[in-house]
Amino acid sequence: MLKFPKWFFKWSEENPTDLMGPAVLVGTVAGAVAVASIIVAFGNPNKTVDMQTGPRGIGMQVSKFVKDNPQFDVYEAQYQVFDRVEAPEGTPTAAEAYGDSVIAFGDMDQANFDQLTKAMSAWVGEDVVLYDDGSADPAKLAITKDCIEATQYLNDSWDTHNLAFDGRGVNCYTCHRGQPTPPGAWVKSGNVNSAMESWSGVQNRLMVGRKYTDSQFTLLPVDALEKLLLDGETIKVTDTESRVDQQPGDPTWQNAERTFSLMNQQANALNVGCVYCHNTRAFYDPTQVTPQWSVTTMAQQMSIDMNQTLYEPRSEVLGHESAKIDCMTCHMGVISPLIGKDMVAEWPELATPAE
Protein backbone atom coordinates (compact mmCIF):
# COMPACT_ATOMS: atom_id res chain seq x y z
CA MET A 1 0.00 0.00 0.00
CA LEU A 2 1.34 3.41 -1.06
CA LYS A 3 1.88 5.74 1.90
CA PHE A 4 2.10 9.49 1.32
CA PRO A 5 4.37 11.59 3.57
CA LYS A 6 2.90 13.64 6.43
CA TRP A 7 3.55 16.93 4.65
CA PHE A 8 1.21 15.81 1.87
CA PHE A 9 -1.78 15.40 4.25
CA LYS A 10 -0.96 18.64 6.05
CA TRP A 11 -0.73 20.53 2.77
CA SER A 12 -4.02 18.97 1.58
CA GLU A 13 -5.83 20.12 4.74
CA GLU A 14 -4.53 23.67 4.27
CA ASN A 15 -5.22 23.70 0.52
CA PRO A 16 -8.31 21.54 0.03
CA THR A 17 -9.06 22.79 -3.48
CA ASP A 18 -5.54 22.90 -4.97
CA LEU A 19 -4.63 19.43 -6.20
CA MET A 20 -2.35 20.42 -9.10
CA GLY A 21 0.59 21.57 -6.96
CA PRO A 22 1.36 18.27 -5.23
CA ALA A 23 0.41 16.31 -8.35
CA VAL A 24 2.98 18.20 -10.42
CA LEU A 25 5.58 17.83 -7.68
CA VAL A 26 5.00 14.10 -7.28
CA GLY A 27 4.97 13.64 -11.09
CA THR A 28 8.23 15.56 -11.48
CA VAL A 29 9.97 13.58 -8.77
CA ALA A 30 8.66 10.31 -10.20
CA GLY A 31 9.73 11.28 -13.71
CA ALA A 32 13.22 12.22 -12.51
CA VAL A 33 13.52 8.90 -10.70
CA ALA A 34 12.41 7.05 -13.84
CA VAL A 35 14.93 8.87 -16.06
CA ALA A 36 17.72 8.25 -13.56
CA SER A 37 16.77 4.57 -13.41
CA ILE A 38 16.87 4.28 -17.21
CA ILE A 39 20.29 5.96 -17.38
CA VAL A 40 21.64 3.66 -14.66
CA ALA A 41 20.15 0.57 -16.30
CA PHE A 42 20.93 1.29 -19.97
CA GLY A 43 23.69 3.90 -19.83
CA ASN A 44 23.84 7.58 -20.72
CA PRO A 45 22.61 7.97 -24.34
CA ASN A 46 24.65 11.16 -24.70
CA LYS A 47 27.89 9.87 -23.27
CA THR A 48 30.99 11.50 -24.78
CA VAL A 49 34.54 10.37 -25.41
CA ASP A 50 37.43 12.84 -25.35
CA MET A 51 40.64 12.85 -27.38
CA GLN A 52 43.47 14.88 -25.86
CA THR A 53 45.10 17.19 -28.41
CA GLY A 54 47.21 19.55 -26.32
CA PRO A 55 48.58 20.15 -22.81
CA ARG A 56 46.43 18.82 -19.98
CA GLY A 57 44.37 21.09 -17.79
CA ILE A 58 43.46 23.76 -20.33
CA GLY A 59 40.55 22.06 -22.08
CA MET A 60 42.40 21.13 -25.28
CA GLN A 61 40.52 18.00 -26.22
CA VAL A 62 38.10 17.02 -28.96
CA SER A 63 34.82 15.61 -27.62
CA LYS A 64 32.52 13.34 -29.61
CA PHE A 65 29.26 11.58 -28.75
CA VAL A 66 29.78 7.85 -28.32
CA LYS A 67 26.44 7.20 -30.07
CA ASP A 68 27.89 8.73 -33.24
CA ASN A 69 30.67 6.10 -33.15
CA PRO A 70 33.70 8.17 -34.25
CA GLN A 71 35.43 4.92 -35.23
CA PHE A 72 32.82 4.07 -37.88
CA ASP A 73 33.02 5.29 -41.47
CA VAL A 74 30.24 4.27 -43.86
CA TYR A 75 32.64 4.58 -46.80
CA GLU A 76 35.11 2.22 -45.14
CA ALA A 77 32.30 -0.28 -44.61
CA GLN A 78 31.38 -0.10 -48.31
CA TYR A 79 34.94 -0.51 -49.57
CA GLN A 80 35.43 -3.51 -51.89
CA VAL A 81 38.67 -5.43 -51.49
CA PHE A 82 40.02 -7.11 -54.62
CA ASP A 83 42.73 -9.62 -53.72
CA ARG A 84 45.45 -10.60 -56.12
CA VAL A 85 44.81 -13.78 -58.07
CA GLU A 86 47.08 -16.76 -58.61
CA ALA A 87 48.37 -16.39 -62.15
CA PRO A 88 48.88 -19.69 -63.99
CA GLU A 89 52.43 -20.44 -65.09
CA GLY A 90 53.13 -18.95 -68.47
CA THR A 91 50.57 -16.14 -68.10
CA PRO A 92 51.71 -13.26 -70.34
CA THR A 93 52.28 -9.77 -69.04
CA ALA A 94 49.72 -7.08 -69.73
CA ALA A 95 52.01 -5.52 -72.35
CA GLU A 96 52.41 -8.88 -74.08
CA ALA A 97 48.66 -9.53 -74.02
CA TYR A 98 47.35 -6.10 -74.93
CA GLY A 99 50.24 -4.48 -76.77
CA ASP A 100 52.03 -1.20 -76.45
CA SER A 101 48.77 0.69 -75.86
CA VAL A 102 48.78 -0.33 -72.17
CA ILE A 103 48.93 2.95 -70.23
CA ALA A 104 50.18 1.50 -66.92
CA PHE A 105 51.23 -1.73 -65.19
CA GLY A 106 52.50 -3.27 -68.42
CA ASP A 107 54.90 -5.55 -66.52
CA MET A 108 52.07 -7.01 -64.40
CA ASP A 109 50.80 -10.45 -65.36
CA GLN A 110 47.58 -10.37 -67.38
CA ALA A 111 45.47 -12.09 -64.70
CA ASN A 112 46.24 -9.49 -62.03
CA PHE A 113 46.14 -6.68 -64.58
CA ASP A 114 42.54 -7.65 -65.32
CA GLN A 115 41.80 -7.98 -61.59
CA LEU A 116 43.18 -4.51 -60.88
CA THR A 117 41.08 -3.15 -63.74
CA LYS A 118 37.97 -4.59 -62.04
CA ALA A 119 39.03 -3.08 -58.72
CA MET A 120 39.59 0.38 -60.16
CA SER A 121 36.23 0.23 -61.96
CA ALA A 122 34.46 -0.53 -58.67
CA TRP A 123 36.40 2.12 -56.78
CA VAL A 124 35.54 4.94 -59.23
CA GLY A 125 32.01 3.83 -60.09
CA GLU A 126 32.50 3.42 -63.85
CA ASP A 127 34.31 1.14 -66.28
CA VAL A 128 38.06 1.75 -66.32
CA VAL A 129 40.14 0.82 -69.36
CA LEU A 130 43.92 0.55 -69.08
CA TYR A 131 44.73 -0.05 -72.74
CA ASP A 132 43.40 0.97 -76.14
CA ASP A 133 41.14 -1.82 -77.37
CA GLY A 134 40.27 0.12 -80.50
CA SER A 135 37.24 1.84 -79.03
CA ALA A 136 38.78 3.62 -76.03
CA ASP A 137 38.45 7.39 -75.78
CA PRO A 138 42.00 8.85 -75.97
CA ALA A 139 41.08 11.68 -73.58
CA LYS A 140 39.68 9.20 -71.05
CA LEU A 141 42.79 7.04 -71.33
CA ALA A 142 44.93 10.11 -70.70
CA ILE A 143 42.91 11.04 -67.61
CA THR A 144 43.10 7.48 -66.28
CA LYS A 145 46.87 7.46 -66.75
CA ASP A 146 47.06 10.84 -65.06
CA CYS A 147 45.03 9.58 -62.10
CA ILE A 148 47.28 6.54 -61.68
CA GLU A 149 50.35 8.76 -61.71
CA ALA A 150 48.68 11.08 -59.18
CA THR A 151 47.99 8.13 -56.86
CA GLN A 152 51.58 6.92 -57.14
CA TYR A 153 52.89 10.45 -56.64
CA LEU A 154 50.83 10.88 -53.47
CA ASN A 155 52.01 7.59 -52.02
CA ASP A 156 55.64 8.14 -52.99
CA SER A 157 56.37 11.85 -52.68
CA TRP A 158 53.90 12.58 -49.87
CA ASP A 159 54.09 9.32 -47.94
CA THR A 160 55.00 11.23 -44.77
CA HIS A 161 51.40 12.43 -44.77
CA ASN A 162 49.62 9.55 -46.50
CA LEU A 163 51.63 7.02 -44.48
CA ALA A 164 51.96 4.59 -47.36
CA PHE A 165 55.15 3.33 -45.69
CA ASP A 166 53.14 2.60 -42.53
CA GLY A 167 50.38 0.52 -44.11
CA ARG A 168 47.87 3.20 -45.10
CA GLY A 169 48.37 5.16 -48.30
CA VAL A 170 45.72 5.99 -50.88
CA ASN A 171 44.18 4.36 -53.91
CA CYS A 172 41.40 5.35 -56.32
CA TYR A 173 38.68 4.76 -53.71
CA THR A 174 40.24 7.16 -51.20
CA CYS A 175 39.04 10.08 -53.28
CA HIS A 176 36.35 8.65 -55.56
CA ARG A 177 34.35 6.65 -52.99
CA GLY A 178 32.64 4.69 -55.75
CA GLN A 179 31.73 7.79 -57.79
CA PRO A 180 33.22 9.05 -61.09
CA THR A 181 33.75 12.50 -59.59
CA PRO A 182 35.13 12.49 -56.02
CA PRO A 183 32.34 13.76 -53.74
CA GLY A 184 34.80 15.77 -51.68
CA ALA A 185 36.45 17.55 -54.62
CA TRP A 186 35.93 21.21 -55.55
CA VAL A 187 36.13 23.52 -58.55
CA LYS A 188 36.83 27.20 -58.85
CA SER A 189 33.81 29.38 -58.20
CA GLY A 190 34.50 32.35 -60.44
CA ASN A 191 32.54 35.59 -60.38
CA VAL A 192 28.77 35.80 -60.57
CA ASN A 193 29.02 37.62 -63.89
CA SER A 194 31.37 39.95 -65.73
CA ALA A 195 29.96 42.98 -63.91
CA MET A 196 30.71 41.53 -60.48
CA GLU A 197 34.39 41.29 -59.70
CA SER A 198 36.77 41.63 -56.76
CA TRP A 199 35.07 41.74 -53.36
CA SER A 200 31.46 41.55 -54.50
CA GLY A 201 32.10 38.79 -57.00
CA VAL A 202 32.99 36.14 -54.41
CA GLN A 203 30.86 37.18 -51.42
CA ASN A 204 27.25 36.47 -50.48
CA ARG A 205 27.05 33.43 -52.77
CA LEU A 206 25.01 30.27 -52.32
CA MET A 207 26.82 27.45 -54.06
CA VAL A 208 23.89 25.24 -55.04
CA GLY A 209 24.78 21.61 -55.53
CA ARG A 210 28.16 21.83 -53.80
CA LYS A 211 27.80 19.86 -50.58
CA TYR A 212 31.29 20.63 -49.33
CA THR A 213 31.66 24.20 -50.55
CA ASP A 214 34.28 26.14 -48.63
CA SER A 215 31.85 28.92 -47.71
CA GLN A 216 29.60 26.40 -45.92
CA PHE A 217 26.45 28.39 -46.85
CA THR A 218 27.74 31.51 -45.10
CA LEU A 219 28.63 34.99 -46.37
CA LEU A 220 32.33 34.07 -46.38
CA PRO A 221 34.27 34.27 -49.67
CA VAL A 222 33.66 31.28 -51.92
CA ASP A 223 37.16 31.41 -53.40
CA ALA A 224 39.08 30.47 -50.25
CA LEU A 225 40.16 27.07 -51.59
CA GLU A 226 41.17 28.58 -54.91
CA LYS A 227 43.29 31.31 -53.34
CA LEU A 228 44.82 29.22 -50.55
CA LEU A 229 45.05 25.66 -51.93
CA LEU A 230 45.63 26.42 -55.62
CA ASP A 231 47.24 29.85 -55.90
CA GLY A 232 49.24 29.18 -52.74
CA GLU A 233 48.51 32.44 -50.97
CA THR A 234 49.39 32.74 -47.27
CA ILE A 235 47.02 30.80 -45.02
CA LYS A 236 46.96 33.18 -42.09
CA VAL A 237 46.29 36.81 -41.32
CA THR A 238 47.99 38.32 -38.29
CA ASP A 239 47.24 41.98 -37.81
CA THR A 240 47.24 43.71 -34.44
CA GLU A 241 46.05 47.02 -35.91
CA SER A 242 42.43 48.08 -35.52
CA ARG A 243 40.35 47.66 -38.65
CA VAL A 244 37.73 50.18 -37.53
CA ASP A 245 38.94 52.86 -39.92
CA GLN A 246 39.20 50.49 -42.86
CA GLN A 247 36.53 49.96 -45.47
CA PRO A 248 34.90 46.52 -45.98
CA GLY A 249 36.79 46.19 -49.26
CA ASP A 250 40.15 46.23 -47.52
CA PRO A 251 41.98 43.06 -48.64
CA THR A 252 43.08 42.20 -45.09
CA TRP A 253 39.45 41.67 -44.16
CA GLN A 254 38.78 39.33 -47.02
CA ASN A 255 42.03 37.43 -46.55
CA ALA A 256 41.10 36.90 -42.91
CA GLU A 257 37.68 35.65 -43.99
CA ARG A 258 39.30 33.26 -46.49
CA THR A 259 41.51 31.85 -43.75
CA PHE A 260 38.50 31.47 -41.46
CA SER A 261 36.58 29.78 -44.28
CA LEU A 262 39.42 27.31 -44.89
CA MET A 263 39.67 26.55 -41.16
CA ASN A 264 35.95 25.75 -41.07
CA GLN A 265 36.28 23.56 -44.14
CA GLN A 266 39.18 21.63 -42.61
CA ALA A 267 37.35 21.23 -39.29
CA ASN A 268 34.35 19.76 -41.12
CA ALA A 269 36.62 17.53 -43.20
CA LEU A 270 38.05 15.87 -40.09
CA ASN A 271 35.02 16.42 -37.82
CA VAL A 272 37.12 18.23 -35.21
CA GLY A 273 37.24 21.65 -33.58
CA CYS A 274 39.79 24.45 -33.39
CA VAL A 275 41.68 22.86 -30.49
CA TYR A 276 42.65 19.91 -32.66
CA CYS A 277 45.46 22.12 -33.99
CA HIS A 278 45.38 25.40 -32.07
CA ASN A 279 45.52 26.68 -28.54
CA THR A 280 42.52 28.99 -28.82
CA ARG A 281 43.89 31.46 -26.29
CA ALA A 282 46.67 32.30 -28.72
CA PHE A 283 45.88 31.52 -32.34
CA TYR A 284 48.69 33.86 -33.37
CA ASP A 285 51.41 32.04 -31.41
CA PRO A 286 53.02 29.15 -33.35
CA THR A 287 54.78 27.95 -30.19
CA GLN A 288 51.47 26.95 -28.58
CA VAL A 289 50.07 24.75 -31.35
CA THR A 290 49.48 20.99 -31.07
CA PRO A 291 51.41 18.33 -33.01
CA GLN A 292 48.43 18.04 -35.36
CA TRP A 293 49.11 21.59 -36.56
CA SER A 294 52.28 20.53 -38.37
CA VAL A 295 50.47 17.55 -39.94
CA THR A 296 47.71 19.84 -41.19
CA THR A 297 50.23 22.36 -42.51
CA MET A 298 51.90 19.55 -44.46
CA ALA A 299 48.49 18.53 -45.85
CA GLN A 300 47.92 22.09 -47.05
CA GLN A 301 51.25 22.09 -48.88
CA MET A 302 50.44 18.69 -50.36
CA SER A 303 47.10 19.98 -51.67
CA ILE A 304 48.78 23.01 -53.24
CA ASP A 305 51.40 20.81 -54.89
CA MET A 306 48.84 18.34 -56.26
CA ASN A 307 46.46 21.03 -57.50
CA GLN A 308 49.20 23.02 -59.22
CA THR A 309 51.20 20.09 -60.58
CA LEU A 310 48.48 17.67 -61.64
CA TYR A 311 44.87 18.75 -61.39
CA GLU A 312 44.91 22.29 -62.80
CA PRO A 313 46.91 21.23 -65.91
CA ARG A 314 44.43 18.38 -66.42
CA SER A 315 41.80 20.96 -67.41
CA GLU A 316 43.41 21.24 -70.85
CA VAL A 317 42.90 17.52 -71.48
CA LEU A 318 39.31 17.55 -70.21
CA GLY A 319 38.28 20.65 -72.09
CA HIS A 320 36.74 22.01 -68.90
CA GLU A 321 37.92 22.72 -65.39
CA SER A 322 39.30 19.76 -63.51
CA ALA A 323 38.19 19.04 -59.95
CA LYS A 324 40.75 19.86 -57.25
CA ILE A 325 41.54 18.32 -53.87
CA ASP A 326 41.47 19.55 -50.30
CA CYS A 327 41.22 17.86 -46.89
CA MET A 328 37.61 16.78 -47.44
CA THR A 329 38.52 14.88 -50.61
CA CYS A 330 40.30 12.16 -48.63
CA HIS A 331 39.06 12.52 -45.06
CA MET A 332 35.30 12.85 -45.64
CA GLY A 333 34.50 13.58 -41.99
CA VAL A 334 36.99 11.32 -40.16
CA ILE A 335 40.43 12.09 -38.76
CA SER A 336 42.18 9.19 -40.48
CA PRO A 337 40.75 8.52 -43.96
CA LEU A 338 38.76 5.28 -44.01
CA ILE A 339 39.73 4.75 -40.34
CA GLY A 340 43.37 4.13 -41.30
CA LYS A 341 42.65 1.28 -43.71
CA ASP A 342 45.60 -0.02 -45.72
CA MET A 343 44.74 1.08 -49.25
CA VAL A 344 47.80 -0.35 -51.02
CA ALA A 345 48.17 -3.73 -49.33
CA GLU A 346 46.90 -5.79 -52.27
CA TRP A 347 48.25 -3.51 -54.98
CA PRO A 348 51.66 -2.02 -54.04
CA GLU A 349 52.05 -0.93 -57.66
CA LEU A 350 49.77 1.99 -56.77
CA ALA A 351 52.34 3.15 -54.22
CA THR A 352 55.42 2.99 -56.40
CA PRO A 353 55.88 5.02 -59.59
CA ALA A 354 56.86 3.02 -62.63
CA GLU A 355 60.53 3.16 -63.63
Binding-site residue ranges: 161, 172, 175-176, 263, 274, 277-278, 327, 330-331
Binding site listing for heme: 161, 172, 175-176, 263, 274, 277-278, 327, 330-331
Report the phi/psi class of residue 206: left, alpha or beta, with left for phi > 0 and alpha for psi in -120 to 50: beta
**DSSP single-letter state for residue 54:** S
Q: Contact 334/70 with Cβ under 8 angstroms?
A: yes
State how far the Cα of 331 lies from the Cα of 333, in Å rounded to an integer: 6
* 3-state class (DSSP) for residue 341: coil
Nearest alpha carbon to residue 239 among 226, 225, 255, 263: 255
Q: Is the dihedral of CA 241, 245, 246, 248 positive or negative?
A: positive
* 3-state class (DSSP) for residue 51: strand
Helices (H) and strands (E) in the chain — how many of each? Answer: 14, 2
